[in-house]
Structure 1
Amino acid sequence: MSIEESRPKVNESRRFGDFFALLKPRVMALAVFTAFVGLMAAPGATDPATAIVALATISAGAGAAAALNMWYDADIDAVMSRTCHRPIPSGRVIANEAVALGLLLSVLSVATLGILVNWLAAALLAFTIFFYVVVYTMWLKRSTPQNIVIGGAAGALPPVIGWAAASNQIGVESLVLFLITFLWTPPHFWALALFKVGDYGKAGIPMMPNVAGELSTRRQIFVYSLVLAPVGLLPWASGFATGVYGVVSAGLGVGFIWYAWKLLASRSDDKNPARALFAYSILYLFAIFATLLIDIVVTRAVTAMGS
């Protein structure tokens, strides 16, 4: 038997799946969607080729940040039930492969976005990757219960990047979209932390329930919901969305407050309200941005027909 025949065969499709998992595709999809809405909301027509390049590079940048996050967090991922089956702690991908993939995608995504689209969007993408990996992952996550509050800025920047890719500027409207996502992030992740509090305790991560207690966390989630609901109306209030968006956004905001109130009023040993709020928060952000996207497309189509 030859040396080649004696080597164990590698399932290439499985290897691809393992590397793809490093990119956190579900998180990437949400980032790309909000970037797409930011791109579509920007004034003026965007060349389809430019839009494709922008979204592809934002996807790659988001995946790069995720891969570097998984590389650095492999030690704590290994002790948490939610993350122990990720590619690195499970041994399917070695740490050096993950960091190499993350660095390569970081350089390629930023350079391609800068060369083919514009350097403002590229600079914002580079800052987002740096902020998520260095500021959030390497510093805040293990040092302060405000980790997700400050670190949430990275996840809130994709619509600003999308807007910049389309217009080569940062509009006030894109900052409104940033603010919605930024205020959404703490209640979303704290809801997760409430029913995974044991995991974070084992890993030594100072999430809010582990540091301030579950009651304090539930109170803070409720306060955030009271702030988030009216902020969700800002696209309508500031004039770049119609009343239809305003009505839908108001309903979604009331729903968020309702789930946060149920969580606040629940018993400490009942984790179901936290799970329900976590699930609703995902629906909320997707629905807010989807409604805005539909509103923008329909309004422009009606305007074009009338001109």
Structure 2
Amino acid sequence: MVDMTVQTAEGEAGVGDYFALLKPRVMSLVVLTAAVGLYVAPVPVHPVIAFASILCIAIGAGASGALNMWWDADIDAVMKRTATRPLPEGRVEPGEALAIGLGLSIMSVLMLSVFANPFAGAFLAFTIFFYAVIYSMWLKRSTPQNIVIGGAAGAFPPMIGWAVATGGVSVESVLMFALIFLWTPPHFWALAIFRNEDYVKAGVPMLPVVAGDRATRNQILAYTLVLFPVAMALAFTQVGGPVYLLAALAYNARFVWGALAIWRRDEAEALADKFKVELRVFLESIGYLFALFIALGVDALLRDLGWAWSGWPVLF
């Protein structure tokens, strides 16, 4: 296997550095949720169009990542978690990251408008703008609610996938959006408690920095409790089914249990074990969205195969 991290010369960027600009881990979740949103939609899409559309959405997500890294290069340099990214280490020039981000943004939006429909293309353009400008350039450095409002950018992909198939939105796509939107704050705040010193050094007003760990623990539990019924509501729509219902019950119960574990802790206890509970909940919550969206896809596949229960209750 070729190591994409190998550089061509000292101080020069390799293929892996440019790929890292696109935030591939984030892109993988975007691709999954957008693909599921497209697949579970009631309007069938030709496989070639579906593949091209998901590729465009992935490119758009990568463009957002490059623009985010370009803008945040200064704070990335002082945070332990991000200090080894290509821009802080000088392997990629800021101008290169900006050019890549803008170029890929334009290309992905235009291509999706052609392959799918103008509404989906416009939705992708708005999502890129929301993440790069509204979140990265404005909210992230100005308010402790940055991850709450800015989290909408990461919640739009299943709606874009749905729009590729249907040309619009519906209660199902809005609930998929809400699932990600409500998951984002407790997911990132668990990390923010664990990495609090990083955000203090960078001057980013994450909730633990501004309001303290106790208030953040309360908010993690509150959002997780609100997330539970929203996740369950999706089970009783046209896209829900028994596989998703079981997955939602199991993973939401686990998420609430983790949020309760975080909420119960006092600061002395948290410091004693170096915030390992918060890190565990953060890592476990990554699998939450993957599991639930895969379950939605499995239910859709069962319906396509004629194996689904025809009497499944649809309430929304």
- For normalisation by structure 2, the TM-score amounts to 0.91
Letter in 1 for 2:119: L
Structure 2 segments unaligned to the other structure (5+ residues)? 1-6, 311-316
Correspondence list, 1:66-77, <5 A: 66-77=65-76
- How far did 1:235 drift? 1.8
Residues 160-183 of structure 1: CA distance to partner in whole angstroms, max 9, x if unpaired?
000011121212211110000000
Letter in 2 for 1:288: L
Aligned to 1:134: 133
Aligned to 1:3: none
After the TM superposition, which segments of 4 or more aligned residues of structure 1 sit over 3 Å from their partners?
8-11
Aligned to 1:301: 305
Query: Whole-Å Cα distance in 2 between the matches of residues 45 and 82 of structure 1?
Result: 42
SS in 2 for 1:79: coil
Is residue 243–residue 298 contact of structure 2 (8 Å, CA) maintained in 1? no
Alignment of 1:259 onto 2:258 = yes
Correspondence list, 1:86-235, <5 A: 86-235=85-234
Query: Whole-Å Cα distance in 1 between the matches of residues 129 and 53 of structure 2?
Result: 18
Aligned to 1:290: 294
- How far did 1:38 drift? 0.2
Aligned residues: 297
Is residue 39–residue 297 contact of structure 2 (8 Å, CA) maintained in 1? yes
Letter in 2 for 1:224: Y
Residues 129-170 of structure 1: CA distance to partner in whole angstroms, max 9, x if unpaired?
000011000000000000000000000000000001112121
Q: How many percent identity over aligned positions? A: 51
SS in 2 for 1:100: helix
Structure 1 residues 9 and 109: alpha-carbon distance in aligned structure 2, compared to 1, 3 A threshold: closer
SS in 1 for 2:39: helix
Query: Whole-Å Cα distance in 2 between the matches of residues 244 and 48 of structure 1?
Result: 24
Structure 1 segments unaligned to the other structure (5+ residues)? 1-7
Query: Whole-Å Cα distance in 2 between the matches of residues 51 and 68 of structure 1?
Result: 26
- How far did 1:303 drift? 5.8
Correspondence list, 1:59-70, <5 A: 59-70=58-69
- How far did 1:247 drift? 2.3
Structure 1 residues 159 and 233: alpha-carbon distance in aligned structure 2, compared to 1, 3 A threshold: same
Is residue 13–residue 92 contact of structure 2 (8 Å, CA) maintained in 1? no
Is residue 60–residue 108 contact of structure 2 (8 Å, CA) maintained in 1? yes
